[in-house]
Amino acid sequence: MTNLGASIGTALAGAVLISALTASFLTGVQDNPGVPKDLASQAQVELAGGIPFLSDKDLRAALEEAHVPPQTAGAIVAGNEKARIDGLRASLSVLAIIALMALFASRRIPTRQPSAAPASEPVA
């Protein structure tokens, strides 16, 4: 049962991370004056299904390969950096809320087994 709980928690955290990363990145690209509107629209269409978690180095390499101008690439990398932080914060916040809920739910766990004799009665 522990493995199932860990798997579900990992999947939930990953889903929240990718969703927040995608939303933050696409919003940042749309609102950034350093990114041309046609490039922002293309990014919106191609990346709407989810954005991979890329390092700045990997993103710069991909942008250079796509022949994106350096100034625009810098704006995109800055947006990706902010989006990664936003995604991590959202994911960790969800996990913290779940942990708090579990903490309160665990107060209802019995402190002794139901079949055990009460501590005040002598056992014969």
- 6 lies in a domain? yes
User: For the chain, what is the mean pLDDT?
Assistant: 85
Helices 70-105 and 56-65 pack at an angle, to 10 degrees, of: 140
Q: Please check whether residue 77 is in contact with residue 63, taking contact to mean a CB–CB distance below 8 angstroms.
A: yes
| 48 pLDDT more than 80 | no
d(CA 51, CA 46) in angstroms, rounded, equals 9
Give the per-residue pLDDT at 90: 93
Number of domains in the chain: 1
Give the per-residue pLDDT at 97: 92
Q: Please check whether residue 54 is in contact with residue 22, taking contact to mean a CB–CB distance below 8 angstroms.
A: no
- 109 lies in a domain? no
pLDDT band at residue 53, thresholds of 50, 70 and 90? confident
| 57 pLDDT more than 90 | yes
pTM above threshold 0.85:
no
- 114 lies in a domain? no
- 103 lies in a domain? no
Domain span at residue 47?
A: 2-97
